[in-house]
Amino acid sequence: MDEELHERMREIVASVPPGSVTTYGDVAAMAGAPSPRMVGKMLSEDGLDLPWHRVLRASGRPAEHIVHRQLELLRAEGVLADDGRINLRKYRWKP
């Protein structure tokens, strides 16, 4: 099992600064994950202590089950959604 990958994904998500967002795909690419799904999997089981709300789908929309909560947390950081969708060109984090 790859504990290393798990840690890299965690570190990347942890490093996304308040007021900006990233996507599952970006995190996967940066961490060298085989699929963006792995990022979602990691967050679902070990993401409570991470700024998981800063991770969106490539469309700029949050995953279905957490939409409300996520948009709420983002709004508190000044990341505003237009009809449920975040403008990635505006808020996307690029290290």
Q: Which of residues 30-89 bind DNA (CB under 7 A)?
A: 34-41, 43-44, 47, 52, 55, 57-59, 63, 65-66
Return d(Cα 38, Cα 72) in angstroms, integer: 25
- State which of positions 3-32 bind DNA (CB under 7 A): 23-25
| Region of residue 64 (left: phi > 0; alpha: psi -120 to 50; beta: else) | alpha
The strand pairing partners of 22, in sequence order, are 55
Q: Which is nearer to DNA, 17 or 57 (CB)?
A: 57
What are φ and ψ of residue 20, in 5° steps? -135, 165
Name which of 19 and 33 has its Cβ closer to DNA: 33
Q: Note the residues at the interface with DNA (CB under 7 A).
A: 1, 23-25, 34-41, 43-44, 47, 52, 55, 57-59, 63, 65-66
